[in-house]
């Protein structure tokens, strides 16, 4: 008897809540919630756990052909409706609902209303019919999607994306400062909270128009004035500060990132500015180039492993082998002239030839055997063979060192024949040729063929003459 009256109340409640939910959804844009009611929406993140567990539990029981206990289904249904309504209240806090939020809202409403339908079907003893089962399966799917969209709203769209190696798209040549650089920094650090689905502080940072519009505390960016721009000021606060951005628990921006944002704002926060258009001395150029440059450690990552013991065995007091950086297999070798110089110590290096990236054999009596070893160092980028007795024939052995970017070969007897080898070295950037037999004509030819190559042929004559003529040092200088 008591059960009967109670169940009436339950029926009315569920019916009432359902109607209210539908009403909310229909008159969404006309609703103005009292503050206290809106506050109820804040309980949504707590409440939502109940219907998920209760509904899934009920469905599980039902699908195994058992009768669902009446209190369980009732509770599941009521919490589903309350959760949906509270979610709707919470949603009104956002001024414009993004796609994710809309999907979440409609799916959530779907879950609540379908569970109400199931409650009714169960009540009229149709709980074990096939279509009810179908409805239950549909509910599982809906709960899954609702939860997933809800998760994306809170934690960001890629929260559940598989952990990737974070290989970011390469910045193109001559990038647009805003689109390719600034936007990327914002994407990485700010957009997870300031997007249409979350809009923390009523601020959107997904495009320049929205950034310039600002958020609830007004403008965040004043073009030309980084110091007064709120977004920059907040980056500079101490990380413990409430106002610091990004908030506690997220990675603060590094110096380069902050500096790029500052310079971009100082230059007017334009979205059409390109790297090429910047003046040469502008700090932004170097900052952007730093981002564009691939980390040298990456290009060495594929080098074969080399053991510390191998390095120890091949080193001596006059031959130092060092890793270019920690955890890198790229090696840098310096050889100094020992009183008992043995060419074998150099030719032995062929064992690690693939790892040698920098090699300094300056002022050593090297010949064709050593050059043979050098030619096998296919990853060589930096070679110093200045002040050695090498000849044009030896230089010929360098022609396959395609990675070579710096060559010091001054103070040698090489001549014009070597020019063709230099021309063929694709990656050569700096060439030091002072005091060689190379003639001016050949140099000009090389300059023409490789305009970007830095060729150093000693101190400029006029500068040198100035130094020789104006010896300002006092002749009568006495020292202690």
127 binds another protein (CB under 8 A): no
8 binds another protein (CB under 8 A): no
50 binds another protein (CB under 8 A): no
The nearer residue to another protein, 255 or 272, going by C-beta atoms, is 255
The nearer residue to another protein, 33 or 319, going by C-beta atoms, is 319
Of 384, 397, 404, 428, the one binding another protein by CB under 8 A: 384
User: And the tokens for 73?
Assistant: 């289904």
Rounded to a whole number of angstroms, the minimum distance from the CB of residue 317 to another protein is 5
Q: How many helices (H) and strands (E) does the chain have?
A: 20, 7
Residue 285 and residue 289: Cα distance in Å, rounded? 6
Of 125, 167, 209, 251, the one binding another protein by CB under 8 A: 251
Q: Which candidate, 198, 207, 191, 290, places its Cα nearest to that of 245?
A: 191
Of 126, 297, 301, 378, the one binding another protein by CB under 8 A: 297
User: And the tokens for 280?
Assistant: 């040469």
Helix (H, G, I), strand (E, B) or coil at 222: coil
345 binds another protein (CB under 8 A): no
Q: Which candidate, 458, 450, 402, places its Cα nearest to that of 432?
A: 458
Size (the chain), residues: 480
Find tokens 């690690």 and name the residue: 352
CA angle 80, 83, 84 (to 5 degrees): 85
285-to-6, 175, 206, 280, 338 alpha-carbon distances in Å: 74, 11, 24, 7, 45
Of 164, 255, 440, 452, the one binding another protein by CB under 8 A: 255
283 binds another protein (CB under 8 A): yes
Residue 357 and residue 382: Cα distance in Å, rounded? 6
Rounded to a whole number of angstroms, the minimum distance from the CB of residue 443 to another protein is 14
Of 164, 272, 326, 440, the one binding another protein by CB under 8 A: 326
The nearer residue to another protein, 122 or 329, going by C-beta atoms, is 329
Strand 406-408 versus strand 331-335 pairing type? unpaired
For the beta carbon of residue 101, count every other beta carbon within 10 angstroms.
22
293 binds another protein (CB under 8 A): no
The nearer residue to another protein, 50 or 336, going by C-beta atoms, is 336
Please count the residues of this chain forming the interface with another protein, following the rule CB under 8 A. Answer: 53
286 binds another protein (CB under 8 A): yes
Of 57, 110, 127, 296, the one binding another protein by CB under 8 A: 296
- DSSP code at position 29: G
Of 132, 328, 347, 376, the one binding another protein by CB under 8 A: 328
Encoded one letter per residue, x for contact with another protein by CB under 8 A and - for no contact, window 438-477 reads ------------------x-xx---xx-xxx-xxxxxx-x
Rounded to a whole number of angstroms, the minimum distance from the CB of residue 145 to another protein is 30
Q: Which candidate, 186, 168, 333, 151, places its Cα nearest to that of 264?
A: 186
Residue 367 and residue 1: Cα distance in Å, rounded? 110
Helix (H, G, I), strand (E, B) or coil at 39: helix
Encoded one letter per residue, x for contact with another protein by CB under 8 A and - for no contact, window 406-445 reads x-x-x-------------------x-x-x-----------
Contact 218, 227 (CB under 8 A): no
Strand 319-323 versus strand 382-384 pairing type? unpaired
Contacts of 100 (CB under 8 A, 6+ apart): 149, 152, 153, 157, 197
The nearer residue to another protein, 25 or 324, going by C-beta atoms, is 324
120 binds another protein (CB under 8 A): no
Rounded to a whole number of angstroms, the minimum distance from the CB of residue 224 to another protein is 15
270 binds another protein (CB under 8 A): no
Q: Which candidate, 446, 380, 456, 339, places its Cα nearest to that of 371?
A: 380
Rounded to a whole number of angstroms, the minimum distance from the CB of residue 192 to another protein is 17
325 binds another protein (CB under 8 A): yes
User: What is the dihedral angle through the alpha carbons of 147, 149, 154, 156, rounded to the nearest 10 degrees?
Assistant: 130
248 binds another protein (CB under 8 A): no
Residues that bind another protein in the complex, under the rule CB under 8 A: 251, 255-256, 259, 281, 283, 286-287, 290, 296-297, 308, 312, 317-318, 320, 322-328, 334, 336, 339, 362-363, 384, 386, 406, 408, 410, 430, 432, 434, 456, 458-459, 463-464, 466-468, 470-475, 477, 479-480
């Amino acid at each position: 008897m008591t059960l009967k009256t109670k169940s009436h109340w339950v029926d009315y409640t569920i019916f009432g809540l359902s109607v209210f939910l539908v009403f909310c959804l229909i008159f969404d844009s006309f609703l103005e919630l009292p503050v206290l009611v809106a506050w109820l929406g804040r309980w949504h993140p707590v409440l939502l756990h109940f219907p998920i567990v209760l509904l899934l539990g009920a469905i599980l029981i039902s699908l195994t052909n058992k009768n669902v206990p009446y209190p369980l289904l009732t509770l599941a249904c009521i919490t589903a409706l309350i959760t949906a309504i509270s979610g709707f209240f919470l949603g009104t806090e956002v001024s414009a609902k993004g796609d994710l939020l809309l999907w979440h809202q409609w799916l959530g409403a779907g879950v609540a209303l379908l569970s109400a339908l199931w409650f009714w079907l169960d009540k009229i003893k149709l709980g074990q019919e096939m279509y009810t089962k179908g409805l239950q399966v549909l509910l599982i799917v809906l709960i899954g999607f609702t939860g997933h969209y809800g998760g994306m709203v809170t934690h960001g769209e890629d929260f559940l994306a598989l952990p990737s190696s974070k290989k970011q798209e390469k910045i193109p040549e001559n990038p647009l400062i805003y689109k390719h650089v600034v936007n990327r920094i914002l994407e990485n650090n700010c957009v997870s909270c300031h997007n249409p689905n979350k809009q923390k502080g009523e601020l959107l940072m997904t495009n320049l128009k929205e950034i310039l519009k600002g958020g609830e505390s007004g403008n965040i960016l004043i073009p030309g004035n980084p110091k007064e721009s709120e977004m920059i000021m907040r980056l500079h606060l101490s990380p413990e500060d409430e106002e610091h951005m990004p908030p506690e628990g997220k990675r603060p921006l590094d110096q380069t990132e902050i500096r790029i944002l500052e310079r971009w704002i100082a230059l007017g926060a334009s979205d059409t500015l390109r790297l090429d258009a910047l003046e040469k001395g502008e700090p932004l150029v170097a900052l952007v180039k730093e981002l564009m440059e691939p980390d040298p450690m990456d290009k060495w990552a594929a080098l074969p492993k080399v053991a510390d013991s191998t390095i120890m065995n091949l080193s001596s007091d006059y031959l130092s082998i060092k890793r270019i950086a920690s955890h890198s297999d790229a090696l840098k070798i310096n050889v100094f002239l020992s009183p008992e110089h043995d060419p074998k110590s150099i030719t032995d290096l062929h064992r690690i030839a693939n790892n040698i990236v920098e090699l300094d054999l300056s002022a050593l009596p090297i010949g064709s055997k050593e050059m043979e070893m050098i030619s096998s160092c296919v990853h060589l980028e930096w070679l110093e063979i200045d002040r050695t007795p090498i000849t044009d024939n030896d230089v010929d052995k360098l022609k396959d060192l395609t990675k070579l970017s710096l060559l010091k070969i001054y103070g040698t007897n090489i001549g014009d024949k070597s020019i063709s080898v230099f021309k063929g070295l694709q990656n050569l950037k700096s060439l030091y040729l002072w005091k060689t037999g190379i003639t001016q004509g050949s140099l000009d030819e090389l300059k023409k063929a490789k305009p970007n190559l830095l060729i150093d042929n000693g101190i400029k004559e006029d500068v040198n003459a100035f130094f020789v003529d104006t010896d300002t040092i006092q002749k009568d200088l006495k020292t202690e």
